[in-house]
Amino acid sequence: MAIEVRNVDKRFDDFVALDDVSITVQDGALTALLGPSGSGKSTLLRIIAGLETPDGGEVLIGGRDVTHSPARTRDVGFVFQHYAPFKHMTVHDNVAFGLSVRKRPKDEIGARVKELLSLVRLDGLAKRYPSQLSGGQLQRMALARALAVQPQVLLLDEPFGALDAQVRAELREWLRRLHDEIHVTTIFVTHDQEEAMEVAQEIVVMNAGRIEQAGPPGELYESPANEFVMSFIGPVNRLGDAFLRPHDIQILPEDDASGEEALVERVVRLGFEVRVELKLHDSREIWAQVTRENAQELELREGQILSVRMPAPRVFAASSGSARPALRA
Amino acid sequence: MSISSAAGVGRARGAPASGSGHAGERAARARTLGVRSIALGYLALLLLAPVAMIFYRTFEHGVGQVWSAVTQPNAQHAFWLSLEIVAIVVPLNTVFGVGMALLLERGRFWGKGLLGVLIDLPFAISPVVVGLAIVLVYGKTGWFGDWLAGHGIQVIFSVPGMVLATAVVSLPFVVRETLPVLRELGTDGEQAAATLGATPWQSFWRVTLPGIRWGVVYGVVLTTARALGEFGAVSIVSGRIEGQTETLPLYVQDRFENFDLTGAYAAAVVLALLALATLLAMNLMTRRTRRRAQA
């Protein structure tokens, strides 16, 4: 179901967590709320779930105004950052919880739990307790528990934050495939731009309680609305007020007169990608991203003098969208 | 079992410094032994010896005398009265205690700090003062005295007053034992339950209460022990009428004052056994559920 948030404000004492935030999420979409910590992304997610009440504004799920409805009536599945397992219950009882509070018949619950546990690949662990599961297993149990009641909307708060890198990559891929299978409208919160780019169809970039930009990953990368989005999504070189992507910098042999002279300070080889840290003649430092082949052709090494060609850098208006009064003498 | 493991630790600690060899090991061992004897000796002197002495004195002249002492009508009445008061006070204070702990931990209201202090007041005030205060409020000349008398309700020198006094002195236990467990539990589980469609009532019974059960059980045990053993407050409120308002502790005191040592000791042993049974019941209960949880 589509989700609509209109002009939502939220304060915690003096701290403004959300400042006039509006977003629209299409039915069936997989959306990421991306931002640094304290940007308000988790608060927004909790307001959609009904775990937090906004000070102003409205929340609509499937066209229904749920701003003042309690969480339990919103038909929302929520996966908590630390999974919030019911520690005194088995995996089976955890997953069955939503069905059992709805007083569904026993055999229906049993069948559904079995189906879900196999969906999240936890078959055979039904009788275990949460303390006997690994982080990745807990995560999947929490997901199965949230999906058991067939929610209209699935919300995940930093779903992969507490996992190690390998499990994390695996689960990302798996979440995306799961979404393709069950098509439930999904929003997840993350501070990791790579995770957002990889998993989401739509990204909402948040900063300091406001929305900086929303759109598909490619669009945010290609045409960032402001310097915050530019520097938060993807690597960036900053030259005064100007911004430049490292892969936009072209490295040429030294004798090529069309470029600017530069000194190679360091070469970092990361497999296919090679990072080259350069010092320009006016001693400004930038770094460039080249392919392995390119680096081999140029025989890149430290201390080498090269020529670089830089496209016109991107320059944003002084402030990021919000009207800031100009200083007056 | 603990002795050998502790000695093992002492040895392990001594081992790396093998230059000074056995001397260091022996010193460490002597130290742990010393600490342990002091702790055990203190406990023996204060608790074990007197309790053992009561048991010894009770059964000194055989079981027959003890049996006739505890089957006296007044002793029987005291026994059942004590149980009756426990049966009323413990559920009352458990419900109140859990509710109050939830309020203090989860609620947001003005005067919360003050309420937290008030809860502890029964610990700070002498039970005798509690008893006097109850007499002052509910006695014939007290605030509600006229109204109560007019409706034919006698509080002082009867069971309602004794229940009241016992409830007051054992009030803080469940609250105090539940609060830290509730804080540790956090609200994540309750929020998860809410998003899964649980009503607050379902969430309390299925998530919150199982999460805090050890704290509550421990609070209940302490409340029971205190309610069973309460003397000061009940002594004042009850008027100590033989065969009517005497609980077991009051009965023990009564027998003692009347130079019926066998009666006093026998009743004391019954009291001690009741307390023991409470502890045992808790132990069995927690052990069984723990084993299930960690299976």
Q: Assess A131–B contact: CB distance below 8 Å, yes or no.
A: yes
Identify whether the C-beta of residue A154 lies closer than 8 Å to the C-beta of residue A142. Answer: no
**pLDDT confidence of residue A238:** 84
C-alpha separations of A130 from A7, A142, A264, B25 in Å: 39, 10, 52, 43
Can you give the pTM of this predicted structure?
0.79
Q: Inter-chain contact A101–B207, Cβ cutoff 8 Å?
A: no
**pLDDT confidence of residue B290:** 60
Question: A98 to chain B, minimum CA–CA distance in Å?
Answer: 5
Q: Inter-chain contact B295–A129, Cβ cutoff 8 Å?
A: yes
- When CB atoms are compared, the residue of A50, A84, A129 closest to B188 is A84
Q: Inter-chain contact A149–B197, Cβ cutoff 8 Å?
A: yes
Residue B13 has pLDDT above 80, yes or no: no
Query: Which residues 6+ apart lie within 8 Å of A40 measured at CB?
Result: A10, A17, A18, A19, A21, A206, A208, A209, A210
Residue B14 has pLDDT above 70, yes or no: no
Residue B187 has pLDDT above 70, yes or no: yes
**pLDDT confidence of residue B8:** 40
Q: Average pLDDT, stretch B108-128? A: 91
C-alpha separations of B120 from A184, B107, B176, B219 in Å: 51, 18, 8, 14
Question: A168 to chain B, minimum CA–CA distance in Å?
Answer: 22
- The amino acid at A15: F
Question: B170 to chain A, minimum CA–CA distance in Å?
Answer: 29
Cβ-based contacts under 8 A for chains A and B:
70
**pLDDT confidence of residue A328:** 32
Residues B159, B162: Cα–Cα separation, whole Å: 5
**pLDDT confidence of residue A85:** 94
Q: Which residues of A touch B294 (CB under 8 A)?
A: 129, 131
Residues A115, A45: Cα–Cα separation, whole Å: 28
**pLDDT confidence of residue B89:** 97
Of how many residues is chain B composed?
295
Residues A39, A22: Cα–Cα separation, whole Å: 14
Q: Which residues of A touch B198 (CB under 8 A)?
A: 72, 97-98, 101
Residues facing residue A272 across a β-bridge? none
pLDDT tens across B31-48, in order?
999 999 999 999 888 888
Question: B182 to chain A, minimum CA–CA distance in Å?
Answer: 14
Structure tokens at B186: 């956090």
- The amino acid at A160: F
Structure tokens at A266: 């360091």
CB atoms within 10 A of CB A218: 10
In 3-state terms, chain B is what percent helix, strand and coil (to 5)? 80, 0, 20
- Three-state DSSP class for residue A59: strand
- Three-state DSSP class for residue A285: strand
Query: Which residues 6+ apart lie within 8 Å of B287 measured at CB?
Result: none
- When CB atoms are compared, the residue of A77, A80, A149 closest to B188 is A80
**pLDDT confidence of residue A322:** 41
- Three-state DSSP class for residue A309: strand
Q: How many degrees, rounded to 5, is the angle at CA A210 between CA A209 and CA A213? A: 140
Q: Assess A86–B contact: CB distance below 8 Å, yes or no.
A: yes
**pLDDT confidence of residue A323:** 36
Q: Inter-chain contact B191–A51, Cβ cutoff 8 Å?
A: yes
Q: Assess B1–A contact: CB distance below 8 Å, yes or no.
A: no
**pLDDT confidence of residue A325:** 35
Identify whether the C-beta of residue B267 lies closer than 8 Å to the C-beta of residue B82. Answer: no
Which pLDDT tens digits describe chain A residue by residue (329 residues)? Answer: 899 999 999 999 889 999 999 999 999 999 999 999 989 999 999 999 999 999 999 999 999 999 999 999 998 999 999 899 999 999 999 999 999 999 999 999 999 999 999 988 899 999 999 999 998 899 999 999 999 998 989 999 998 877 777 888 888 888 888 888 888 999 999 999 888 998 999 999 999 999 999 999 999 998 899 889 988 888 888 887 788 888 888 888 777 777 888 888 898 988 888 899 988 888 888 888 888 888 888 888 888 888 888 888 888 875 444 433 333 33
Residue B140 has pLDDT above 60, yes or no: yes
Which of A137-141, A277-281, B8-12, B158-162 is predicted with the least confidence, judged by mean pLDDT? B8-12
Q: Which residues of A touch B192 (CB under 8 A)?
A: 78, 80, 84, 86, 145
**3-class DSSP string for B128-145:** HHHHHHHHHHHCCCCCCH
Question: A102 to chain B, minimum CA–CA distance in Å?
Answer: 7
C-alpha separations of A282 from A212, A308, B282 in Å: 33, 13, 78
**pLDDT confidence of residue B295:** 43
Most confident by average pLDDT, A1-15, B140-154, B271-285 = A1-15
Determine the straight-line distance between the first and last CA of chain A, rounded to whole angstroms.
Answer: 53
Structure tokens at B112: 């919360």
C-alpha separations of A118 from A77, A83, A122, A192 in Å: 19, 19, 6, 29
Structure tokens at B105: 């931990």
Identify whether the C-beta of residue A50 lies closer than 8 Å to the C-beta of residue A4. Answer: no
Q: Inter-chain contact A102–B197, Cβ cutoff 8 Å?
A: yes
Q: Inter-chain contact A72–B198, Cβ cutoff 8 Å?
A: yes
Identify whether the C-beta of residue B191 lies closer than 8 Å to the C-beta of residue B203. Answer: no
Query: Which residues 6+ apart lie within 8 Å of B221 measured at CB?
Result: B278, B279, B282
Q: Inter-chain contact B195–A51, Cβ cutoff 8 Å?
A: yes
Beta strands in B7-140, from DSSP E residues, in sequence order? none
**pLDDT confidence of residue B292:** 55
**pLDDT confidence of residue A318:** 57
- Three-state DSSP class for residue A155: strand
